[in-house]
Structures are given as C-alpha cells and as structure tokens.
Chains A and B, each alone.
Chain A
Amino acid sequence: MRRWTWGILLLALGVPVTAAWAVKKDEKLYVKARNTRVLKSAVPTADVVAVLQPGQQVTWKGADPKNAQWHQVTEPGGKAGYVFQTNLSTKPPDMELVSKDGKTRTIDPAAFVSSGAAVKALSPGAEKYGKEKGGDYAVAVNQLKKLEGLAKAVTPVEIDAHVKQAGLFPVVAPNTKLGPQPQAKKGGR
C-alpha cells in the first residue's frame, strides 16, 4: 500500500499524526503517566522539582536544545523544570473512579491517584457468577484473585527498576519524593 494511502487510513482511524501535536510555546499539555517527574535539568538523574499525575496540565516552553527528549515546562504550581518527552500529551487521559452509584466522577487527578480509588478487585457479582458455574470456572475465580494480588504488587517502584535495567524510557517514576534522587548503581538513561 502506498504511503499516502496509509496517511488517509490513519486519519480515518483517528490515529494521532503530525498535525495533532502542533503545540505552540506557552500552550498547555497534559501529563499522561503515573508519577511524572518534573526535573531541575534535562538529565534523568537531576533533582525532582515536582511529581505530577495523569490529567494534570503543564505549560510547554519547548524542547531542550541539547537533548530533544526532554522538554522545558512550568508545572501547575509555577515551578519550571524538564519533563521526559513521552510523558506529555495533547489529549487528557480518562480518569475513572468507581463510585457507589456506578457513575464516573470528574475529580482532581493528584487526589484521585493518592486516594487508591483506582484500585479494583474482581467484582463481587463476577466472583459469584464463577463460583455458581463451579468446576474450572470456580478454579479460575481463585486463580484470578491470586493473579490480581501479584499484579497489584507490581508498583511504580518495580517498574522503574525494570525500566532502568532494560534501558527503556524513564516515564513512570518510582515515587513522589522531591529533591535529590538516589544515584542508580547501573543503567538508566
């Protein structure tokens, strides 16, 4: 298929293409990943100025001239710093909260993440459904509960350690601590 045909297809699918990124200096961008760090300088080991959560907005000042993977921003509190490129998005993420009435709430992103409200478990009705079916379904219920326990134990701390070891991009920070970062023994970018 020719390249222009793909371009039309991508546009039809709503896939972000170049035009979707056209952001000017001093315009707002969304933070998309959990524990997005704003650093004092454009290196991953720099002091942490602020830690933001999905849905919070920063003011974009431009790419660092020496390393275009880092972008200068001003965080919501007014502090200036640098954010890794792929932490930024022109579109807000979906922030979904399980509430008793089953409706989605619009809430403060930072408060939402720290509240733990986003953490779910196997729904009570589904658990009952599986147990009533019995046999392998009941076994699957117990296995899923165990799996969810293992999944929850994979926190940003474990993710950060793996990312450093594998040489991936530093998008999800391990914690919300401000100030100097502990020096990594090896790896990192």
Chain B
Amino acid sequence: MRSRMGVLVAAGLGLCLTSCTQVAKGLKAANLGADVNRVADAAEKVDSCDKLKVAPAIQEEYALGSALAIHWAQQGGGLMLSGAAQEKLSTYVNTVGRNLAMQSPRPELGWTFGVLNDTKRFNALSAPAGYVFVTHGLLQGVDNEAQLAGVLAHEIAHVVLKHALNQYVSVKVSTCKGDAMVGVGKSVVASALKNASLLDGRLDLDSDTGLMGKMVDGTVELAGKGHRKDEELAADALAVELMLSAGYDPGEFSKLLGQTSGGGGFWENHPSAKERQGQIKSIVEARGNNADPLARVDVAALQRPVLPASFTAAVGPVKKPTGVAKDAK
C-alpha cells in the first residue's frame, strides 16, 4: 500500500515539476501521512530550483570559464606553446583577437586566445569569461587575417551573448531538480544547489572542486550537442559587426564558411553554410547602403591582411578543411 501510494504521488510530482508549490501545500495541509508529506517536501524543493535561473555572477562565470578552458585545452591535445615560434603564433592570435574583443560589448573581460595542438579537426571553441581556442588544423585552412578574425569574432560573440553560460544555468536547474526528485539532500553538490536556490541563485564554484566538476561535466555534455541554430546565426551576426568595426572584410569569413559542410549529422543544430553566408551578405549590404552616417560602412575600406611569415612558419603548409563543420561551442 505504502509503495503504491508512493508511486502515485511520485507520478503526480512528475506531472507538476515546474510549479508544484500549491499542490505541495495542499497535500501537506491534508496531512495524508509521512510518505505524502515527504513527496510534498520534494515538490517544494523542485519548485525552488527555478530560482537558480538567474544570470551567474561574474566571479561564477570566471570560475566556470577557467575550468572549461582547462577541459578544452586537455581535449585539444594541449596548447601550442612549445618554443619561440609557437609563442609568437599565440601572441599574434591574441593581437588579432584582443583587438576585436576590445571593440565588443564586453571589452573588459580578460580575453585569452589560444591555439590547440589538434591538427585533425577544423574547429574553434570558446568558454565563458573570454577564453577562445582554435585548432592547429583550422589555422592550416585560413588564407588571410580576415578569415582568422571571422572565426575569432564568432567565438567572441558566443561569449558576449553568454550562450555556454545559459547552458550552465540549465545544468544547475536540472541537477537541482534531479537531486530533489531522488531525495539526495546531503551531498555537497545537492546542499550547494539547495542553498543557492534559497538565496540569490548563484554558486561559489571556487569553494569546492566536486561542485565545480559536476557543473563542468554537465555543461561539457550540453556543449557537445552544439548551440541552437538561432544562437549560431546570432553569433555570426555579431561577428560581422565586430569585423566591420575593426575594418576586416566579412566576405572572407563567408568564404571560409563555404569550405565547411555546415549542418547535418552530429552538428544537426548548425545552420547550413549557405544560410550563414546569406545572412553575412545581407548584413554587409545593409550597412554599406545605409543612409544613416553612423551606420553606413565604407565597404571599399575593408581589409584582407596577409598572414605574417611567422604564422606560416609555426602553422605549416596550408591544408583545406575536408567537410568538417566548424565551431563546436
């Protein structure tokens, strides 16, 4: 009987996951027994998890971003920093990237740009707090600085628009609800989430590596599925604005996208290269023909700077991408 009642109430709880407060209060008031009261308590805890849906504090973003950056560097076979030539390459990528980032809507983040040793994948990644990575394989596929700037600007845009940070918030909420459902109340992670849900919704990730690991693992899992199509298009649009602001020709970014296969398969959320190219063309045309002197861009003044000799020396011979969709995060 007890287990049957438990199943029934648990099923009811499952149906009211997002707003159970009133149901839980009613159950408690009816005083139907210990089992029902326990489930009603869980329902209230599930409901309070929604209070975690707040923008993370900047310190929380730094902690998450740093841990994710460590993760991406490890997964990418480490960073290209061996010897003077590779250090010079990193300095060059940071020069291009930081110029763009200082013109972005988040100019004061501590922007850091790195090159991953990975030569097999044509990929770029980012993490909250201003970490941006490109693979060695991607650098072997770019023809000029405007193409590199386009890739970096797209990743800067993901950070500015807080796409990975939003994934992290959903991990916080789902982990909290999962813990409440199964009655895990004493673990460090569960306690931290519960306390945060009762306060301002923010987590001190630096205080506990177990908590940080749990949140990082969840965010990595979600990030592996890629961003939504609308987020990718928004990142492209902001990337074009950053390129126009700095004086780069966005047509070169479009050209590079044309060398990748775009959506489909594992990256099914990604828009097609054709769709992305269409948007870039549309934005540049709109800015070039704009009657407003503040909005109009002198398209003829946009540049496609050649890559420095030190770049080619460190990166090696040019290799064109072989149909692998870029931008993992």
Which positions in A face B, CB cutoff 8 Å?
Answer: 1, 3, 6-7, 9-10, 12-18, 21-23, 29, 32-34, 54, 60, 62-63, 68-69, 71, 85-86, 88, 91, 93-99, 102-104, 112-113, 118-130, 132-133, 136-137, 139-141, 143-144, 146-148, 150-154, 156, 158-159, 162-163, 166-169, 171-172, 189
Other-chain residue from B69, B90, B234 in contact with A15 (beta carbon distance below 8 A) = B234
Given contacts A15-B237, A118-B110, A150-B91, contact A126 B66 (CB under 8 A): yes
Partner pick for A158 among B87, B95, B247, CB 8 A cutoff:
B95
Q: Bound complex: CA of A124 vs CA of B279, how far in Å? A: 41
Selected from A94, A102, A159, the residue in CB contact (under 8 A) with B105 is A94
- Could you say which residues of chain A place their CB within 8 Å of the CB of B291? 18
Of the candidates A6, A113, A130, the one whose C-beta lies within 8 Å of that of B108 is: A113
**B residues bordering A, Cβ < 8 Å?**
57-60, 62-63, 65-67, 69-71, 73-74, 78-79, 81, 87, 90-91, 94-96, 98-99, 102-114, 129, 145, 202, 204-209, 212-213, 216, 230, 233-234, 237-238, 241, 244-248, 275, 278-279, 282-283, 286, 290-296, 298, 301, 303, 305
- Per a CB cutoff under 8 Å, which of B65, B79, B145 touches A147? B79
Contact between A21 and B290, CB atoms less than 8 A apart: yes
CB pair B298–A69 under 8 Å, yes or no, is: yes
The answer to whether A6 and B279 have CB atoms under 8 Å apart is yes
**Measured CA separation A129–B216 after assembly (Å):** 10
User: Contact at B206–A124, with CB atoms within 8 Å?
Assistant: yes
Cβ of B240 to closest chain A Cβ, rounded Å: 9
| 8 further contact pairs, Cβ within 8 A, besides A118-B109, A129-B213, A162-B96 | A15-B238, A21-B292, A93-B104, A124-B206, A147-B79, A147-B90, A150-B94, A152-B110
> Which B residues are in CB contact (< 8 Å) with A129?
67, 70, 209, 212-213, 216
Q: Given contacts A140-B74, A144-B69, are A162 and B99 in contact (CB under 8 A)?
A: yes
